Each structure stands twice: as C-alpha cells, then as structure tokens.
Amino acid sequence: MKQSATLAAQLGEAARIVARVAAGKSLTDEIGRLSDLDSRSALIDLTHGTLRRYGRVQAIVASLSRRGRPDSLVEALLWCALYALESARHAEHTVVDEAVKACGLLERWPAKGYVNALLRGFLRQRSALEAQLASEPEARYQHPQWWIDLVRHAYPETWQAVLAAGNTHPPMALRVNRRRTDVDQYQARLAQQGIAARRCGAQGLLLERPLPIERVPGFAAGEVSVQDAGAQRAAHGLDLRAGQRVLDACAAPGGKSAHILELAEVALTALDVDAARAARIAPNLERLGLNAQVQVADATRAEQWWDGRPFDRILADVSCSASGIARRHPDAKWLRRASDVTAFAERQRAILAALWRLLAPDGKLLYATCSIFPQENDAVVDAFVEAEPRAQRLALADSAPAQWLPAAEHDGFYYALIAKRA
C-alpha cells in the first residue's frame, strides 16, 4: 500500500515538473528545488525519462485522446504515466491505478475516467500504435523535426544512431583528484565496496551503474568529482604548464576549472556571467582543496574585469545548444528552437573574438562546446582562423577527433585548439 501511494505521489509531482518545463522552465532548476533525497531519484527518473521521449508520449496521447488536448497538468501526467508503463518498473495495472489516484492529488478529479481510459487504451492498442509512431519522425526519433534535420544533414551515415544515443540514459564517470588519491588505488577501493568501474582517460573511471552522489566513496572528502569522460578532455587539451596564467572563461559550475587546477600549479581565473551559477564554483573548488580567482562578468566585456595582463591559456567553454548532452538535459529538446542555433553561433563568435585579445603571444586557446551541431563548432572555428592572421589551429593532445558524438561511454563534445603566433 505504501509503495503504490508513493508512486501516485511521484507521478503527481513529476507531472507538475514536466508541465512547468513544457511551459518554459528549466528542468535542472525544477529538480534543484527538491529537498527529499528519498524521492529525488524516482522523480529524476520519471521526469528525465519522460522528456527523453519528447515526441513519442505526445504522439500517443494525441492519437488516443477522444476529447481534444487535455488540461496541461493532466497531459503531463499522462506523459509520465506512459513512460512509467514503458519502463516496466511497476506492474501495468499498478501504474494505471496510481495515475488515476494522482488526478486527485493534482486536484483534477474529473479527469480520472479520462486518464484511466486513455492508459488502458494504450495497453490494448500498443502494437497497432507502434506502426503509426514509426511513420512520424518526431515520435520515432523523439526529437523535434528541425533537430532531426540538422543531425541528418551533418551525419548522413550515422544520424539515426546519433539520435538514438541522445535518448539513452547517460553514463556516470568520475574524475579522480590526483592531488588526493591515485586512480588505481581509488578503483581498488570501489571494487572493495562492490562498485564496478573501468578506466576512461588519465583520471577517469566509468561506473558500470550510476550511483547517487551521496553514495560515491570519497566524494565529500574531495577525492573525486562527477564529470563526463568527454568533458575531461578539456583540461588535458590546454597543454598546461606550472606558473601559467589561465582563464576559464565560462567556468560555472567549476568542473573544468577544478580539473585544470588538479593537473597543474597555475594561476586560474574562473569567469562566468551568471552570478547564481558562479556562486557554485568556490564551494566546488573548496571541496577539492583548490583555489582560483572567481569573477562574475561578461567574457566579451573585458574592460569590466580584466587586469590587462594576458593569459597563457584560455578555455572558452562557450554557451551552446547543449545538443551533445540532451540526454542529461532532455528539456533542451522542448525549449530550443532552430533559430537558437544561429543565435548561439553569433554569441560564440563574439566570445571567441573577445577572448583572443586577452591571449598572450604563443598562447593557446581551447574552444569547447557540448554541441553536435557543426554550425556551432567547425563553422565558428574555421571562420575565425581564416579571418585572424595570427591564429593557427593545432592537433588536439589526445589525437582524437574534434567532435565526439554521444556514445555509451561519453556525451557529445567538441574541441578546437588554436595557437596565437607571436
């Protein structure tokens, strides 16, 4: 009884969150407001799982509804319930019954019969629906049409796999803080506690199964951080040396800044335009026993924060569409529009040009995004290098391709290393 009551409450709360996201709110912000750790994992699963299915759950409700589009909260409840049914974590009859109960928790009592009928209709007609969904690209690939078109044009041989990867549960990778422990020692410690992990990169360990952060050994003591294997490429790509002045120009919440400081004794400035996000940098560094100068300012407005001394290395981890990490932030598929890609590219060009003026002769700038759209990546970098006489694009330190697409071991990231000729 307790379990079913909990499921009804979780479906109701998940519906509230998903409805707010559909109205334009950030999923990260909505989840961040949750204080009950016991229900947090279940709600993350319900909300993220539902939103990863973007077009599918919408198409199912639209197909089965005989009364037009329902109330937004009831619609969100149906989406969440459909995900719960397809995840098979609960018996089908349990999900249906608890979704009906959730109508009462949401004060949508008149919708009980409608919710019951639609969900049971889905269970009866599931096979027939699959053929219909396969013919609708947004339902089949669970991305908006414009996103599908961009990926298909960019990756004509692998576009379906790229889209499919964007709908999966993301991997969980740890970055071992080498100032506090050794990777092999930490991996052995995990094994002793029954946590399977394998090496990925110089300081990385990929967990066989994700864990709640509070269950990660040594996290509170600063021995490890959670950071995707693709994101861990950034610090290694900067060619760091002791004594360098380094700028992390879009630093919040501080993961890449921390990795830089773990690798080399440098003077780091961590800059971010968002004060709320920048406030997270110092606590994250403190947990790891690291220090940096944290500033809140616009990277394109150097006169507001720069002391005039050039930087030897600059990490330009610019804001982007987040198309390479959409499985972690599935609301991106709700909230982005095709025009946003063009807007991001314009902003990226402005940031790159502004930061270039702050780079010392013979210095190196690493341009980075978590996007898979070439319009934000090669198009921006190639145009800049062609227009700037002193810019020279270099091979990356790991000799890997600039563009990593989402895969089983990592998210989608792009890197380009640009040197400034003296």
Report which of 214, 231, 84 is spatially closest to residue 170, judged by C-alpha positions.
Answer: 231
CA distances from 114 to 18, 110, 127 (A): 19, 8, 21
Residue whose token pair is 């149906």: 78
320 is catalytic: no
What is the C-alpha to C-alpha distance for residues 415 and 377, in angstroms, rounded to an integer?
A: 8
What is the C-alpha to C-alpha distance for residues 341 and 65, in angstroms, rounded to an integer?
A: 34
Structure tokens at 335: 């909230």
- Sign for the CA dihedral angle at 86, 26, 162, 341 comes to positive
Structure tokens at 194: 């029954």
Report which of 25, 18, 19, 74 is spatially closest to residue 48, judged by C-alpha positions.
Answer: 18
CA angle 165, 43, 2 (to 5 degrees): 135
Q: Which of 80, 103, 200, 370 is catalytic?
A: 370
What is the C-alpha to C-alpha distance for residues 288 and 308, in angstroms, rounded to an integer?
A: 29
Phi/psi at 174 (5° precision): -110, 150
The amino acid that residue 136 corresponds to is E
What is the C-alpha to C-alpha distance for residues 349 and 363, in angstroms, rounded to an integer?
A: 19
Structure tokens at 336: 């982005």
- Sign for the CA dihedral angle at 391, 392, 397, 403 comes to positive
Report which of 23, 35, 12, 133 is spatially closest to residue 84, judged by C-alpha positions.
Answer: 12
- Sign for the CA dihedral angle at 59, 65, 70, 76 comes to negative
- How many residues are recorded in the chain? 422
Catalytic machinery residues: 370
